């Protein structure tokens, strides 16, 4: 499965980059395939592994913020592997056909 998630610490002021960096560090250290962009962090793996990483991120951000907002979008496809890259490659191939 792939989970795209965004964590926002609430009540810590205008800049949230330090808390977000703490969460991204947890994802990167998890060993699961991942990527971070301006809006979300994507992480791929088995359900329990991915959700455990997200929980660790929420708990870490919660250490610095009185409130934590989380948005998660999940793509669960049985048997899919390496979807973080294969989905992009499929789109790029189609773009190359034009």
Q: List, in order of start, the domains of the chain with CATH numbers.
A: 2-97 (3.30.70.930)
What pLDDT is recorded for position 10?
94
What pLDDT is recorded for position 76?
94
Tell me how many degrees the CA angle 1-42-58 measures, rounded to the nearest 5: 100
Q: What is the pLDDT along the chain (98 residues), one digit of tens a residue?
A: 999 999 999 998 888 899 999 999 999 999 999 999 999 999 999 999 999 999 999 999 999 999 999 999 999 988 888 888 888 888 999 998 87
Q: Which of 14, 2, 3, 16 is nearest to 68 (CA)?
A: 16
What pLDDT is recorded for position 15?
86
């Amino acid at each position: 499965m792939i989970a795209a998630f965004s964590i926002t610490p609430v009540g810590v002021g205008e800049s949230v980059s330090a808390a977000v960096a703490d969460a991204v560090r947890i994802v990167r250290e998890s060993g699961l395939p991942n990527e971070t962009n301006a809006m979300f962090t994507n992480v791929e793996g088995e359900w329990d592994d991915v959700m455990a990483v997200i929980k660790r991120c929420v708990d870490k951000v919660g250490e610095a913020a009185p409130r934590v907002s989380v948005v998660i979008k999940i793509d669960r496809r049985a048997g899919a592997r390496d979807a973080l890259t294969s989905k992009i490659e499929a789109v790029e191939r189609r773009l190359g056909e034009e």
